[in-house]
A and B are shown apart, each in its own frame.
Chain A
Amino acid sequence: MPDRETIGEALSRRGVSRRALLKYTAYLASLMALPPVAASAMAEALAKARRQSVIWLSFQECTGCTESLTRSFSPTIEDLLFDVISLDYHHTLQAASGEAAEQARLAAMKENAGKYVVVVDGSVSTKDDGVYSTSSGVTNLQLLRETAKDALALISVGTCAAFGGIPHARPNPTGAVPVSEIVTDKPVINIPGCPPIAEAMAGTVAYLVSFGRIPELDHLGRPKSFFGEAIHDRCYRRPFYDRGLFAKSFDDEGARKGWCLYEVGCKGPITHNACATVKWNGGVSFPIQSGHGCLGCSEPDFWDAGGFYTPLSAGTRRVGEVVAGAALAGAAAGVASVVLARRRKAQAAAAEASAKKEPTP
């Protein structure tokens, strides 16, 4: 497909009708809670837009994010990446390899300077100048700085790129950091999740291409349309939470009846994502529906947040030793104050006795 043709021309050539495009944009618009007119505006804009050049950088990651996107239902990665954008560089999906792949990236950067979007999945190693993660002899840190320099915007896909993720978990041996800590002079959109929901990625890119601006973001740089609400607030098990009906373990009666999973560690109340509404695998299910509590994977440091099976209202530190130590110290202080009091009493009694012995003149 020629790079300079419009998306509408490209879709038409592939047999995608205007009706199908409208259906697709209506779906995206509804996902992003945009007004009804946005669907047709998005379709018009997409049809007229030049294919957006995208450079996809993979750093310290597991390819789960790409897997999530390529195995999504509607809109599929084919809909999105091959019909809407021009994926000029992607380690996993591109046919070119080695020097040719790097040349493709450099060519795309030169041709679309100031207009291309950089998508990053994976965190960036910074310790020892980032030597713990390299490709083609270049550290991720160097590659990101070089590629981001002339980018229009960056999209951090997955929790590793957005917040550091698992590589960032204690003790963080590679000095992993999120993209936003390295690139501070460009807009960075975070689409976290381990993996992220494909629709969140697709919707954000479609919005960017259609309207030429970044969607409204929350304080963690996430599109509010997908990350504006806590999973708990839209969870179908919420009525059980309100009634105080909780599964106490994964195989008790409460679990079989589908009661709330708060007591077995669900992090839904503090996790903002669209899992409970968009769901996964074409809307089939999501972790809580499948019987497991939310891990909170779209939040920063979810890996170190006190244990997946520890209820949110419970403490995260062992207190046994601390309580024993505090009790011992308290007992020592108590006994010491009693000893002092008894000594003062004895001294007072002795003084009184000696006063009695010496008759006053």
Chain B
Amino acid sequence: MSLLEFARGPALQAGIAIFVFGVTWRLLALLLLPRLRERSVARPGSPPAVWAGLREIGRRSLPWTGLPKASLFGTLNGYVFHLGIAIVVFGLAQHIVFIRGLFGVAWPNLSSNLVNAVAIVTVASMLAALARRIASPVLRLLSNVDDYLSWLLAFLPVITGVAAVAHLGARYETLLAAHILSVALFLAWFPFGKLMHAFLVFVTRAQTGAFFARRGAEA
């Protein structure tokens, strides 16, 4: 079995299985936890919890006009690589056929040259995010192994993907195998580290929104 066959077969299968297991486990374990009964009286005129939660998800997903200057770069850079990853993952034809193989759904792809350009910007943006984390004393203090490992496992698929498409450094089969293996690693780590924020960010924002709205406070 070649490295590419291993990557496309057992490695990818195992990565997906661990991802599904871990995400299901963590989400259920969180959402089904017993919650404290709300004993306070809701502030008059406060919106229903569901609406407040959804509103908060939307509000925090848009750039905040009152952003302090110090976090402006971090916020904008965050948008750049998150959107970049989304464009690369869902816009490249090779990724769409991969998703089609899993779920049977497909959509028109973007130009490969455009996706490549976005991928290179994404690489630069992710490197900048790491540099900022290391350079900032506060961020460095707040960071642990999980942060760096999650960054690395998110960065590897992007950089190996760029190399595979451009045929840089090795034969295509080797680069493609490295790319798929890095995706399998990413999927396997996803539920257990900070990458899980992709799901939990909506839960925490909704909870915060509902909690604050009940008290009549701006979240």
- What residues of chain A have their CB less than 8 Å away from a CB belonging to chain B? 230, 232-233, 241-244, 246, 262-263, 269-270, 300-301, 304-306, 310-317, 319, 322-323, 325-327, 329-331, 333-335, 337-338, 341-342, 345
Contact = CB atoms under 8 A, between A and B. Distances in A.
B112 A243 contact: yes
Interface string B1-34: 1101100111011001111111111111100111
Contacts of A244: 92-93, 109-115
B97 interface: yes
Contacts of A342: 34
Interface string B101-121: 110000001111111000000
B176 interface: yes
A338 B9 contact: no
Contacts of B100: 314
A78 to B, nearest CB: 37
18 contacts: A243-B113, A263-B97, A304-B5, A310-B101, A312-B94, A315-B12, A316-B5, A316-B9, A317-B8, A319-B12, A319-B17, A323-B17, A326-B17, A326-B18, A330-B20, A335-B32, A338-B28, A341-B33
A311 B22 contact: no
Interface stretch (B74-82, B166-174, B196-204): B166-174
B33 A241 contact: no
Most buried by A among B23, B101, B111, B167: B101
A337 B112 contact: no
Given A243-B112, A270-B176, A338-B34, 17 more contacts: A301-B2, A304-B5, A305-B2, A311-B94, A312-B8, A315-B12, A317-B8, A323-B17, A326-B19, A326-B24, A329-B21, A330-B20, A330-B23, A333-B24, A334-B26, A335-B28, A338-B29
A323 B23 CA distance: 12
A347 B93 CA distance: 55
A327 B97 contact: no
Contacts of B180: 313
Q: By DSSP majority rule, is chain A's interface helix, strand, loop, or mixed? A: helix
B132 interface: no
Nearest to B30: A334
Contacts of A312: 8, 94, 176
A269 B17 CA distance: 28
B8 A316 contact: yes
B25 A246 contact: no
A326 to B, nearest CB: 4
A345 B24 CA distance: 23
A213 B62 CA distance: 68
Interface residues of B, number: 48
Closest 9 CB pairs of A and B: A334-B28, A330-B24, A244-B112, A314-B101, A313-B94, A326-B20, A270-B173, A330-B21, A326-B21
Given A317-B10, A322-B13, A331-B28, A241 B22 contact: no
B112 A241 contact: yes
B148 to A, nearest CB: 26
Most buried by B among A242, A316, A335: A316
B94 A262 contact: yes
A76 B45 CA distance: 91
B34 A341 contact: yes
B140 interface: no
A313 B25 CA distance: 29
A246 B176 contact: no
A54 to B, nearest CB: 32
A326 B97 CA distance: 23
B60 interface: no
Given A244-B93, A301-B2, A331 B10 contact: no
A232 B166 CA distance: 12
B109 A306 contact: no
Contacts of A322: 13, 16-17
A7 B212 CA distance: 94
Contact of A300 (B2, B114, B115): B2
B59 interface: no
B51 interface: no
Given A322-B17, A333-B25, A270 B172 contact: yes
A341 B32 CA distance: 10
Most buried by B among A233, A300, A333: A333
A62 B98 CA distance: 35
A99 B8 CA distance: 50
B95 interface: yes
A338 B172 CA distance: 46
A193 to B, nearest CB: 17
A330 B28 contact: yes
